[in-house]
């Protein structure tokens, strides 16, 4: 149980384009989903927290107009990187948590490369 | 001061030995503490979590929490080469998770 999928696993795009990443909880209802970014040899940095049916809460320094998050259902959240630039190249990882549970479960991650 | 601090390592231990990984945190209001393992190029996977002072054991892993000292550790018994990875400590604070930078563990065959 507690499986989270992400799609795509890898994406290469040109500078200025937008990229959408999907995060799905496959066998549980995710009332909360988190989006993280990880640069090489660095730790996970929380970008935003999203609760189903409400607006995402962004961490300080994360541009909400650049990183659009939608949590439309209890099993799906999407992150759209708008007008991507090379500095947005990173490993994006989502995680999901059910209700009042302590633990979060991670998706496999999406490696974004912006040329 | 970082909210969650870990020694970056690498920590090298011989196969079969006990690996001891440490983590300190700054916010006394933190409630739950997590250990994740992350292999290179992969996302983290949960090893275990702890929220009460003392020890919690799960197989070869033991998490230890000391809230007075703001310290949490992970012991890995009978370390195997497959345990070689980066171990991330995370602290839950106000319903979100703050991660340390991780300790790289190398288990030498």
pLDDT tens-digit profile of A24-55? Answer: 999 888 889 999 999 988 889 999 999 888 88
Cβ distance of A106 and B98 shorter than 8 Å? no
Asked if residue A1 has pLDDT above 70, the reply is: no
- Residues A42 and B8: their CA atoms lie apart, in Å, by 10
Per-residue pLDDT band for B104 (boundaries 50, 70, 90) equals: very high
- Are β-strands B103-108 and B11-14 bridged in parallel, bridged antiparallel, or unpaired? parallel
Angle value at C-alpha B67, between B62 and B72, nearest 5 degrees: 35
Cβ distance of B101 and A43 shorter than 8 Å? yes
- Residues B74 and B55: their CA atoms lie apart, in Å, by 10
- Residues A113 and A96: their CA atoms lie apart, in Å, by 24
Buried b (16+ CB within 10 A) or exposed e, A7-38: eeeebebeeeeebebbbbbeebebbbbbbbbb
Mean pLDDT across A48-64:
90
Asked if residue A71 has pLDDT above 90, the reply is: no
CB of A54 within 8 Å of a chain B CB? The answer is no
Tens of pLDDT, residue by residue over B20-37, are: 999 999 998 888 999 999
- Residues B3 and A115: their CA atoms lie apart, in Å, by 34
Closest-CA residue of chain B to A40: B41
A interface test, pick of B40, B43, B47, B93 with most A CB neighbours within 10 Å = B43
- Residues B93 and B98: their CA atoms lie apart, in Å, by 7
Supply the DSSP symbol for A9. S
């Amino acid at each position: 149980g507690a499986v989270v999928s992400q799609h795509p696993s890898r994406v290469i795009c040109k500078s200025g384009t937008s990229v959408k990443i999907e995060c799905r909880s496959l066998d549980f209802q995710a009332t909360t989903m988190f989006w993280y970014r990880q640069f090489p040899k660095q730790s996970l940095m929380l970008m935003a927290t999203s609760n189903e049916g409400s607006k995402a809460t962004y961490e300080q320094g994360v541009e909400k107009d650049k990183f659009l998050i939608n949590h439309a259902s209890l099993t799906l959240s999407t992150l759209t990187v708008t007008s991507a630039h090379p500095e947005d190249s990173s490993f994006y990882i989502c995680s999901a948590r059910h209700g009042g549970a302590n633990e979060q479960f991670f998706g496999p991650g999406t490696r974004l490369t912006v040329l | 001061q970082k909210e969650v601090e870990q020694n970056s390592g690498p920590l090298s231990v011989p196969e079969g030995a006990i690996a001891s990984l440490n983590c300190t945190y700054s916010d006394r209001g933190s409630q739950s503490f997590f250990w994740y393992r992350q292999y290179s190029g992969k996302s983290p996977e949960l090893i275990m979590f702890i929220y009460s002072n003392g020890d919690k054991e799960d197989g070869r892993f033991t998490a230890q929490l000391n809230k007075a000292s703001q310290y949490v550790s992970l012991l890995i018994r009978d370390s195997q080469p497959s345990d070689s990875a980066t171990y991330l400590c995370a602290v839950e604070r106000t319903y979100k998770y703050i991660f340390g930078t991780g300790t790289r563990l190398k288990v030498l065959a």
